[in-house]
Amino acid sequence: MGTASHPLLENPQHTIEKRSKVVSAAEAVRLVRDGDTVATGGFVGIGFAENIAVALEKRFLGDDPLAEKGTPKNLTLFYAAGQGDGKERGLNHFGHEGLVRRVVGGHWGLVPKLQKLAVDNKIEGYNLPQGVITHLFRDIAGGKPAQISRVGLGTFVDPRYGGGKINDCTTEDLVSLINVGGEDYLMYKTFPVNVGIIRGTTADPDGNITMEKEALTLEALAIAMAAHNSGGIVIVQVERVAERGSLNPRQVKIPGILVDCVVVAEKPEYHMQTFAEAYSPAFSGEIRIPMSSIAPMAMDERKIIARRAAFELPPNGIINLGVGMPEGVSSVAAEEKVIDLLTLTAEPGVVGGVPQ
């Protein structure tokens, strides 16, 4: 009785070569189809794949000679944190009538071009809690039908008060009210993600991704899993490509089995660490700058309010900071040299340190 041979072992010369996943931005976005649901990662200007967004916009506007003008069309854009500069960059590249049909986002303040489409009832729009959306990525990856949460009860996200819909043409209910054990909860529906667009620092030809120079890792892995497990594709923008097998496996944040396309940024401005900073080793945790190098706030009304709030900070406390005035509270704590007695956190996942 003969012994069966595995197909991979039938070629003793091992002449089968592994295909590189590195492609151009234009080639990557040609894989996006009409009607796809596209999930993007990023936080303001951190971790946003600007080059891929620019390429997608160019394809739609007809600047890609190998792609049909006006495609892809009727996309659903799905994102958690705000991604833009309030002008042209970030998700503003998606702000063209016909390119997007629906937007499900956690923050609209930085995307005036999408805002206008929503105000003019040219697109369907939902504003759901940012944290809920980050959890939805994981729930989609896990094949769950919905997320059940108390977040949003009694607010405009509650279906009794609008269900997160932001204009008249948005009619489908993505949020419903349910009762579990005598308690009210909101149920957020999941849906497949066809395309995940995320960012890292270094890739190898197999698509393994590291993030050593990124200021935040965010929900990149969850988006990759959501798209992959939905049968979709994952496109990752990076700064550079390393030799196959040379990456430190401990630094790989997204394994290549989840990645379909790797795009190397074509210009430095497409891969800035933030929209305001090309690169700071302090942002990526490579160095820790002295607290004494942080300039104190000017003595004005803002600082007076921040100092009063700082009086309430408990020793050894864990303090969650919001955007705006709370940043001044941390500056006062650093100036008064009590920052070492506190642990400050912020919404994108940072633990420790002082906000820039």
- Active site residue: 27, 266, 277, 347, which one? 347
Evaluate whether 271 touches 239 at the Cβ level (below 8 Å).
yes
The amino acid sitting at 111 is V
Which H or E run includes 264? strand 261-264
Q: What number of other Cβ atoms are within 10 A of residue 174's Cβ?
A: 21
> Is 312 a known active-site residue?
no
Paired tokens of 198: 């995320």
The residues, ordered by sequence, that sit 6+ positions from 99 with a Cβ below 8 Å of its Cβ are 57, 60, 72, 73, 75
Backbone angles phi, psi at 75, to 5 degrees: -75, 155
Q: Which one-letter DSSP state was computed for residue 160? A: G
The residues, ordered by sequence, that sit 6+ positions from 40 with a Cβ below 8 Å of its Cβ are 48, 49, 53, 77, 78, 79, 83, 91, 197, 198, 223
Backbone angles phi, psi at 129, to 5 degrees: -60, 135
Which residues are marked as active site? 347
